Amino acid sequence: MIAKTWFQLYHTKGIVKANFSVTNICNYRCNHCNIWRKYLENPELLRRELSFKEFLKISEQTTSLRWISITGGEPTLKKGLDKFLIALPDSIKLVSLNTNGSLPNKITDIIKIAAETMPKRLFYVSVSLDGPPEVHDKLRGIPGAFENSISTFLQLKQLTDEFKNVHVNFEYTITPWNLGQFEALLRYFNKTKFPASAADFVISLYETAAYYHHDDSRGSKPTLKILKEAQRIVSCFPRISLNPSTLFCRVFLALSSEYYTKRKRHPCFAGEKSVWVNPYGEVQMCIYKSQPLGNIKDYDYDLNRLVSSQKNEILELRNSCKGCWTPCESYTTLMFRPLFLIEGVVKSW
């Protein structure tokens, strides 16, 4: 099923992947992200968010769309996620979703119904987990956050036995505040006999893109310490895995250092195969190019229409881009450049 979906994505022309940042509502208080501050500072802004009905309209009007990646804020806090997932057109083959894991029962119910209704669609859920209990709770600013994530993972893991189209992993972000804690977390799992290992994780690197509502909107690169940590963590992952998340994560980590230290520019499909849609309908080329290409409402909710009308701007942005290596876009690159993926597998060995 995974190979078939990959094939379908690979052979589709136009915008294939949309990153939908569906809301800026968030119930956590993370150290490394300021999204939760947005509506405390400007509550009026909430009224401008697109509804899930409008996100559905984008999914229907953009007929080339095959992969929807849902993020926020915390997507489960926005009304209508359940209805949105089951109403998506058949052309959507893959839905990936990031959650902070705060609502175990809610996300499990939503994914269960969606997987039951659409057995031919793949669902990948990533649950945040950034260290052992005290580290994760401190980083997320909420007591009990660790237990929530663990419970969410376990409930979703149970679903994977029943539904072959459901996949779940933890997402660990390496930040300046949890260096050395990945191995500590694995030791904790070992000690408590928790049924997870490195192969159940994908890894992200802390950066300061404007999207995270940081003052520094220049999209600074990860520090050397974070990159060194990434290199150490690669060795925790199995060299051979049939799980695409594990495979891609290993390659992502190995190539991140190459990119940031040698400034070797990797291929990028932002604006060609993928775009970023913020909660207000503004479409960006990627998470870092915060200047909107336009608002989707002005283009009849069709991403291809919007992108075609902004060809010159996209070209300019691409030519002036110094590159990046964010998971949001790098996984798309690995998917659309199989030879580059093979090169990455060899380098990560």
Residues binding ligand SF4 (CB under 6 A)? 26, 28, 30, 33, 35-36, 72-74, 100, 268, 270, 285-286, 288-289, 318, 321, 323-324, 329
Which distant-in-sequence residues (6+ apart) come within 8 Å of 126 by Cβ? 96, 97, 98, 99, 168, 169, 170, 171, 202
Q: How far is the CB of 202 from ligand SF4 (least distance, A)?
A: 15
Q: How far is the CB of 122 from ligand SF4 (least distance, A)?
A: 23
The secondary structure of 258-286 as a DSSP string is HHHHH-PPPP--BTTTEEEE-TTSEEESS
Q: How far is the CB of 74 from ligand SF4 (least distance, A)?
A: 6
Distance from C-alpha of 162 to C-alpha of 228, rounded to nearest angstrom: 39
Q: How far is the CB of 276 from ligand SF4 (least distance, A)?
A: 9
Q: How far is the CB of 73 from ligand SF4 (least distance, A)?
A: 5
Residue 117 near residue 146, CB atoms below 8 Å: no
Q: How far is the CB of 283 from ligand SF4 (least distance, A)?
A: 13
Nearer to ligand SF4, 121 or 289 (CB): 289
Nearer to ligand SF4, 118 or 230 (CB): 230
Amino acid of residue 178: N
Could you tell me if residue 206 is left (phi over 0), alpha (psi between -120 and 50 degrees) or otherwise beta? beta
Residue 12 near residue 66, CB atoms below 8 Å: yes
Nearer to ligand SF4, 105 or 235 (CB): 105
Q: How far is the CB of 45 from ligand SF4 (least distance, A)?
A: 15
Q: What burial class does residue 109 get, using C-beta atoms within 10 Å of its C-beta: 0-12 exposed, 13-18 middle, 19+ buried?
A: middle
Q: Phi/psi of residue 214, each to 5°?
A: -90, 150
Bond from prior residue into 73 cis (ω within 30 degrees of 0)? yes
Nearer to ligand SF4, 28 or 237 (CB): 28
Residue 205 near residue 176, CB atoms below 8 Å: no
Which distant-in-sequence residues (6+ apart) come within 8 Å of 338 by Cβ? none
Q: How far is the CB of 337 from ligand SF4 (least distance, A)?
A: 13
Nearer to ligand SF4, 118 or 336 (CB): 336
Nearer to ligand SF4, 121 or 221 (CB): 221
Q: How far is the CB of 221 from ligand SF4 (least distance, A)?
A: 11
Nearer to ligand SF4, 157 or 289 (CB): 289
Nearer to ligand SF4, 247 or 270 (CB): 270
Nearer to ligand SF4, 68 or 286 (CB): 286
If residue 307 lies in a helix (H) or strand (E), which one and from where to where?
helix 303-309
CB atoms within 10 A of CB 40: 7
Nearest one of 23, 55, 54, 52 to 39, comparing CA atoms: 23
